[in-house]
Amino acid sequence: MPLRSREDWFWQRFDPKDKRASGALPNLRKAINREAGTVPELWPYYRVILSDREASSAFPSPKLVAEHSALGLFGVHQQSQGDRRMHVADMSMSVALRTLRASGRYSADALDRRVNAAATATSTGELVQHLRGLITQLRTEHLAFDYTQLVNDIYDWDSSERRKRVRRRWGADYFGWADPASSDSPTTDNSTTDAAAKPDTEQ
């Protein structure tokens, strides 16, 4: 079941032309290598719905870990992108990586190894570290993807069974197993159906 949020996720509301929104990006990048819920600068941006038990637990909920990780990765991806939006609804991260592979900008073998390392990660923390490197490469080519799908994939990574499903979908998207007529077309177009709005940074 997809994660539920109190309102649109930060990346859905992000408007790169809004100086306050763009000013939030350095705070988002503080999520990298930091435990979910322990960085006060990120508290205003969390939107995932937690139960009372999850919110008060001594350990961060997998739901919060997923959003925390996605926020950090989005902060890395959106850095120095000008008016481009690095969240595009319904564009798989693996399709974006397939576009990167086809571009010839990087060695296909080297990229395959990096994708394989991410896909075989056995923990959420390991996965996020590998994704950070891949997203840095996507950023160089201004290739966007759907962060709402990513936050759910990161959440599913916490379950060994759901992780298998995510891996299969990533493989299908990255190597194009699916019928091309039914696949998403890779794009660097940053138009999206998500409504852009100013983030609430009030604490």
In this structure, are residues 118 and 127 in contact, taking their beta carbons and an 8 Å threshold?
Answer: yes
- Cα separation of 143 and 76, whole Å? 13
Confidence (pLDDT) at 95: 97
In this structure, are residues 96 and 139 in contact, taking their beta carbons and an 8 Å threshold?
Answer: no
User: Cα–Cα–Cα angle for 58, 121, 139, nearest 5°?
Assistant: 95
Q: Domains in the chain, start-ordered, CATH in brackets?
A: 10-182 (1.10.520.40)
**Which residues does 37 contact at the CB level (< 8 Å), separation at least 6?**
43, 46, 60, 64, 68
**Which residues does 53 contact at the CB level (< 8 Å), separation at least 6?**
none
pLDDT digits (tens, 9 = 90+) for 6-37: 999 999 999 999 999 999 999 999 999 999 99
Distance of CA 24 to the CA centre of its chain: 16
In this structure, are residues 41 and 99 in contact, taking their beta carbons and an 8 Å threshold?
Answer: no
159 pLDDT higher than 50? yes
- Mean pLDDT along residues 123-133: 98
For residue 93, give both structure tokens: 């991260």
* CA–CA distances in Å: residue 68 to residues 32, 150, 163, 173: 9, 12, 18, 25
Percent of the chain with pLDDT over 90: 85
Query: If you ran DSSP here, which 8-state letter would residue 59 be given?
Result: S
- Per DSSP, the residues of 127-165 read HHHHHHHHHHHHHHTT--B-HHHHHHHHHHTTSHHHHHH
Question: Residue 104: left (phi > 0), alpha (psi -120 to 50), or beta?
Answer: left
130 pLDDT higher than 70? yes
pLDDT digits (tens, 9 = 90+) for 41-93: 999 999 999 999 999 999 999 999 999 999 999 999 999 999 999 999 999 99
